[in-house]
Chains A and B, each alone.
Chain A
Amino acid sequence: MTTTTPARHRVPGLSKVPGIPGRVLPVVATFVLFVLLFGVGSVRYEGFTSGQVFANLFIDNAFLIVLAVGMTFVILTGGIDLSVGAVVALSTMLAAATLRAGIPAPLVILLVLAVGTGLGVLMGLVIHHFEIQPFIVTLAGMFLARGLCFVIGVESISIKDPFFRALATGTIELPGGVVITWSVVIALVIVAAAVWVLHRTRFGRTVYAIGGSESSATLMGLPVARVKVAAYAISGLCAAVAGLLFSVYMLSGYGLHAVGMELDAIASVVIGGTLLSGGVGFVLGSLLGVLVLGVIQTLISFQGTLSSWWTKIAIGTLLLLFIVMQRLFTRRAS
């Protein structure tokens, strides 16, 4: 960071919009954007304004929500985790292969969660103790996890396990005839848990402190090492959960699942208003970020004539827009 006044800290995301604290402004902006996009859809396409279309946003993106939650922890500490997409693929592959081998579903789930968390812990330890950029370490983790998928098998393996099948087809009917899946419930529980951890526990506040200033956090006597490693462990755990949800969604394991999904997760977090430099952001923002991506996809599918790749273009544009917007806020504040 270059500031002309050396002593004064730059205020991230602080703005002068009356009535809204600067910190939550990006989240509010994302929410407004979501409402606008949904509104556009409602006006243009018949049948868009239904509870089910809204619920489908959650159903189709449950795994991405979970992934974005984990990513938020890491980005809040000022880090990044590029491995999560590959860990999702590894989780689907691991689940599918072990289920095919006849291992009972609960054991499979535990195994997948353990592997994902273990990878996260490993990367966190390397990042913290060898002081290597998270980008490189998690890039290595990404190659490792992706490679392991193909060690397990090069073909797609379908999942026939009754428990996974039941999860995939089982639905919960909400008032008004809207239907959601168990994946949505799991994702939302994880979001709620993350909000609680980040805001109401010392661990969570330390995550923010590290993102604000790691050296200060150390001098303040906070357990920086433990919390930093734990952030990657949480990201790994979330990636494993997302992988399980994705196996339920696809009912298959495949080494080429979730290619580039880590980037979708990062995009969601950033669009949700979290600063890549760390210390500022909210899990709910990340949730909104995922929903914005989801609603763009839905819009494009309702349009019908557009290639789904337009989603990527829209995401790219939005991402740039949000980064520029954050920069402007930061500049105005300083």
Chain B
Amino acid sequence: MTDTPRPTTAPTGDPVVAMRGITMEFPGVTALADVDFRLLPGEVHALMGENGAGKSTLIKVLTGVYTATSGTTELRGERVAFAGPAAAQEAGVSTVYQEVNLCPNLSVAENILLGREPRRFGAIDLPGTRARAAELLGRMGLTIDPASTLAEHPIAIQQLVAIARAVAVDAQVLILDEPTSSLDQDEVAELFRIMRHLRDQGVAILFVSHFLEQVYEIADRMTVLRNGRLVGEHLTRDLSRLQLVSAMIGRELGVLEEVERLAEDAGSGTSGAPPVLEASGLGRRGSIAPFDLTIRSGEVVGLAGLLGSGRTELARLLFGADRADSGSVRVGGKDVSLRTPRAAIASGIAFCSEDRKGEGILADLSIRDNLVLAMQAARGWARPIPRRTKDELVARWIETLDIRPADPDAIVGRLSGGNQQKVLLARWLVTNPRLLILDEPTRGIDIGAKAQIQKLVAQLAAEGMAVVYISAELEEVARLSHRVIVLKDRAKVAELDASATVDDIMGLIAETDATAAPRVGTAARTEQVAS
């Protein structure tokens, strides 16, 4: 990766943004307590913290989405209180969000300049708009046709277009809220190149990411938050990864080691356990080639492979979300036809989709409603669950999974990613499934929640549940699984036992196709820090 030399001294000068004593209280919750934050011109500054640490809240206070309960915000030495993102943008504070917030139906040029198009005689100057957009894209080293429709481009390009829009206003402060979560390694490199470019032009960049590797690669300084409080402000090079992680989660890093121990404990003696699910010759044309798979009680079976290797497709077949066109499935020794998710659920199979928002949680409902839903479906609509049973159940799962806030009536859509994932997990665990399929359960969530979820998986397996675990993070798969199924080009290519290492898996994936670089690079993980 090309890199302009990192400044050898700390970035200096007056802060472009100075927030002092920011406190933000929501009914019943103090999201931020007396937080100070400084952003200097020409630096990439990482805002670090677990989910719920207050990173998003701080950003929202800065951009005027929220009005702080107390505290002051200064922009270039002047006190400001923006009325909203539009006003903040006007003043040179632009934000690019994790989800691409552009209009897919419009052209690239329009997305960059919408609302600021050059005009002639009251009408939008179309050639002028395109030229200006091309210039902005060119400044970022992008050579896409400004007249093309945004939706034609991959999500990574769309993300870069969003950044082009953000800098088009002569932004002095650019806030990037988890811009890398949907990008692959090359795309991240491209994004970093542009970030360095902007930094060198004096733009102050506030960067939020869960990937420690990325933070260490790009950030000059970092501010760490924990539970709404400021833990510290550091130069990146002064803070080791271990120190950073400790600062973020504020406790010793025993959790991940415990996961490993649990997994090992459970690993012994599963080969004799009765199979929960046996698939033979199961396949679906164009989706995944026929495969055999046996999953035993108390076993975690990991599915490893690159994006598009057929991981999710395999899981969807097992859950009946897609219909197999060959092969057969036995669950608990009986032949079953998994033609619909309903049939799979009836057989005791649960599936947590990778698309948490689209296919998993019901964002508008409360934690209680989400939890009760799957159980109610299993009981049938004619047998309502008594209120007290519901409350007990919900309270128990909130406690077990450490869902925050621990309020059954909290709206799920407002929870952090990690907590949404826990709600989704709890929803299925309530039904006490025999086989739990988890598709990317730890994507986009912080270390603390990640460790908790992995620990939970290991515990569930130890208690006898069979688990299919899918993750792009090979480390995670290797650590948790008793067996690893390696997938490639929509076919099962190998089955490894618990002793498999990440290198083994990568070797298999790369075996016949050396050019395909595994995603482990961008996913270079926090767990490495811990081990």
Contacts and interface: CB of A to CB of B under 8 A. Distances in A.
Interface of A: 2-12, 14, 22-23, 196, 199-202, 205-206, 208-209, 211-213, 215-223, 279-280
Given A2-B359, A200-B124, A280-B105, 13 more contacts: A3-B358, A12-B104, A22-B149, A201-B122, A201-B124, A202-B119, A206-B114, A208-B103, A213-B102, A213-B104, A219-B95, A222-B114, A279-B106
Interface in B68-114: 85-86, 89-90, 95, 97, 100-106, 110, 114
A11 B104 contact: yes
> What's the dominant secondary structure at chain A's contact region?
loop
A331 to B, nearest CB: 14
A205 B85 contact: no
7 contacts: A4-B312, A5-B355, A14-B152, A201-B122, A213-B104, A216-B101, A218-B85
A14 B105 CA distance: 10
B152 A220 contact: no
Given A2-B359, A209-B106, A213-B102, A219 B115 contact: no
Interface in B381-405: none
A4 B307 CA distance: 13
> What's the dominant secondary structure at chain B's contact region?
mixed
Nearest to A11: B151
Contacts of B151: 9-12, 14
B246 interface: no
A11 B152 contact: yes
A4 B287 CA distance: 13
A200 B106 contact: no
A219 B359 CA distance: 25
Contacts of B150: 9
A298 to B, nearest CB: 34
A220 B95 CA distance: 9
A208 B101 contact: no
B334 interface: no
Contact of B101 (A22, A211, A219): A219
A220 B149 contact: no
Of B97, B114, B126, B154, the most chain A CB neighbours within 10 A belong to: B114
Contacts of A208: 103, 105-106
Nearest to B120: A200
B357 A6 contact: yes
B117 interface: yes
Contacts of A12: 104-105, 151
Contacts of A216: 100-103
B243 interface: no
Contacts of A215: 101
B182 interface: yes
A187 B357 CA distance: 45
Given A8-B155, A14-B149, A14-B151, A213 B103 contact: yes
Interface of B: 85-86, 89-90, 95, 97, 100-106, 110, 114-115, 117, 119, 122-124, 126, 149-152, 154-155, 158, 165, 182, 312, 354-355, 357-359
B97 A219 contact: yes
A2 B359 CA distance: 8
Contacts, number: 99
B101 A213 contact: yes
Given A11-B104, A206-B114, A196 B123 contact: yes
A212 B124 CA distance: 19
Contacts of B119: 202
Contact of A211 (B105, B155, B165): B105
Contacts of B122: 201
A118 B121 CA distance: 29
Given A6-B358, A222-B114, A212 B103 contact: yes
Given A2-B359, A220-B101, A205 B155 contact: no
Contacts of B105: 12, 208, 211-212, 279-280
A8 B182 CA distance: 10
Contacts of B110: 205, 209
Nearest to B125: A200
Contact of A220 (B90, B155, B165): B165
Nearest to A21: B149
Given A11-B149, A196-B123, A220 B115 contact: yes
A213 B100 CA distance: 11
A161 B173 CA distance: 64
Nearest to A22: B149
Contacts of B114: 202, 205-206, 209, 220, 222
Nearest to A278: B105
A9 B100 CA distance: 9
Contacts of B106: 205, 208-209, 212, 279
A12 B149 CA distance: 11
A257 B312 CA distance: 57
Contacts of A222: 114-115
Nearest to B359: A2
Contacts of A14: 149, 151-152
B117 to A, nearest CB: 6
Nearest to B88: A221
A217 B110 CA distance: 12
A202 B102 contact: no
B83 to A, nearest CB: 11
A107 to B, nearest CB: 30
A62 B149 CA distance: 33
Contacts of B123: 196, 200-201
Contacts of A223: 115
Of A3, A11, A220, A280, the most chain B CB neighbours within 10 A belong to: A220
Contacts of A280: 105
B411 to A, nearest CB: 15
Contact of B358 (A2, A22, A217, A220): A2
A81 to B, nearest CB: 20
Give 10 closest A-B pairs by Cβ, nearest first: A212-B103, A221-B86, A9-B104, A212-B105, A279-B105, A200-B123, A6-B355, A11-B151, A216-B101, A219-B101
Nearest to A219: B101
A217 B355 contact: no
Contacts of B89: 221
Nearest to A281: B105
B182 A7 contact: yes
B128 to A, nearest CB: 12
A279 B149 contact: no
Contacts of B158: 9
A202 B149 contact: no
